[in-house]
Copies of this chain bind each other. A is one copy, B any other.
């Protein structure tokens, strides 16, 4: 333990006198934070570019990067410390990609042996994109040295902070009994993501669909197909028919809006073609507690989004809070124009819940062991170096960290890249260099969302100013930017192929 403490204490305070090494380090860290060296590690878009061709150049560049990755440090720390990384989401994968893996005994633990490109998950709900196109085997990011890094396909269930041990549980696959094991660590990076926030509203967990994983997307797709097929199996009451064609989406953030947009596109473009006997019209309703959808965008863009959603016959209920979810209806309280509250009951065939995050159990468990983490609302509170406050050897990234930043892929990816640079710098310090680690600075690149009907909205950051754009060209840019954001050339080709397939043959309507 002593060694571990010594190691973590080498993190230098900000504002160290610059030496030549430090300046180089600074440059490297800064470029890491801005995603400059590796353009595909930022979630949203480049601040210096907002035209599709720039994204295309970026695409080419990152393919070259993928083919010829920069050489990593040749010198190796003598006594390598065990670095355990939990999770394979944006934060962890960004961290692992940039980490000098020769300097640590790295063990990655995750229930998924793949990285999932979450921004396009809404497109999987209609079969526009195959989930496989968004899944990249985790070993693509672990390097080719088979002994440098270990991956355990297992769920991390508990961190025992005092014993410096992670309890993992592997599944009972291949006729192995479900088993538990302990993974000791010297250093721990938490990138476990978050659970769905349900705000203790009764019935949500029992009846709603979520949208965080591949199986969630598959469940939503199957539910839609069920809604369609159930209206056609034998005669139904008018009430049942109406209910089955109601889709309620709770949460007017990017996920909620994009799911609504993708579903409406599907109903508009493909349903009648594929199921000519379908008489019912599907009605999508977005329920949002705040006064606007996409509240993170500037007001004109929010208003534009709401108007365009309504043009597509999507009902938008703002200032409306869900009170209870029943098996086939949702009870909401809406604030009328005259300021009066009104209770409404909306029947539904499918309910998608996309309202935000709450800390996972493992995060709650770790927080309970650290006195500084008593107020665990959004995640593990981290300092400006992403170290978990009150701990000496634990860092947190992405949705499981509370750094007063939005829980987006963009933030997680930048944090991962930053932390990798910090770890590389610490290893260099072990080898005799002087560490100079600046605090993490988030560089917001902008926000993009698809709003249906081949329209998108974007607030792009250019030289510190926010530039709102919208419409069809923003949609093309959205596509180019998302392609560019994919972490591998393989993913890019597969996503582009899926888009082409959908253009040629329509979306897929088979229940898996």
Please list the residues of chain A having a beta carbon within 8 angstroms of any beta carbon in chain B. 112-114, 127, 130-132, 135-137, 139, 144-147, 150-154, 168, 170-171, 173-176, 181, 183, 207, 214-215, 218, 222-223, 225-227, 229-230, 232-234, 240, 244, 274-278, 327-328, 348-350, 490, 493-494, 497, 501, 504-505, 508-512
Contact = CB atoms under 8 A, between A and B. Distances in A.
A494 B490 contact: no
Contacts of A183: 234
Contacts of A150: 232, 277
19 contacts: A113-B225, A113-B509, A136-B510, A137-B508, A139-B275, A147-B277, A153-B230, A154-B233, A170-B230, A173-B222, A173-B225, A174-B244, A175-B207, A175-B348, A175-B349, A176-B226, A181-B233, A214-B512, A490-B504
Contacts of A154: 233
Nearest to A176: B230
Contacts of A144: 276
Given A173-B230, A174-B244, A512-B131, A274 B153 contact: no
A144 B274 CA distance: 9
Contact of A173 (B168, B223, B504): B223
Contacts of A214: 512
A289 B233 CA distance: 44
Nearest to A222: B173
A244 to B, nearest CB: 6
Contacts of A490: 504-505
Contact of A277 (B130, B146, B207, B349): B146
Contact of A510 (B113, B168, B218, B229): B113
A46 to B, nearest CB: 26
A113 B229 contact: yes
Contacts of A511: 112-114, 153
B139 A276 contact: yes
A80 to B, nearest CB: 16
Contacts of A152: 229, 232-234
B176 A132 contact: no
Contacts of A510: 112-114, 132, 135-137
Identify the interface centre among A112, A278, A349, A509: most chain B CB within 10 Å of its CB.
A509
A144 B328 CA distance: 33
A449 B150 CA distance: 39
B274 A137 contact: yes
A144 to B, nearest CB: 6
Given A113-B229, A152-B229, 13 more contacts: A113-B510, A114-B511, A130-B132, A137-B274, A137-B509, A170-B234, A173-B230, A175-B327, A175-B348, A176-B240, A176-B244, A218-B512, A493-B504
Identify the interface centre among A145, A170, A175: most chain B CB within 10 Å of its CB.
A175
Nearest to A327: B175
A226 to B, nearest CB: 3
Contact of A227 (B137, B174, B218, B278): B174
- By Cβ-Cβ distance, the 8 closest A-B pairs, closest first, are A173-B226, A146-B277, A153-B229, A174-B226, A146-B276, A114-B510, A135-B510, A174-B227
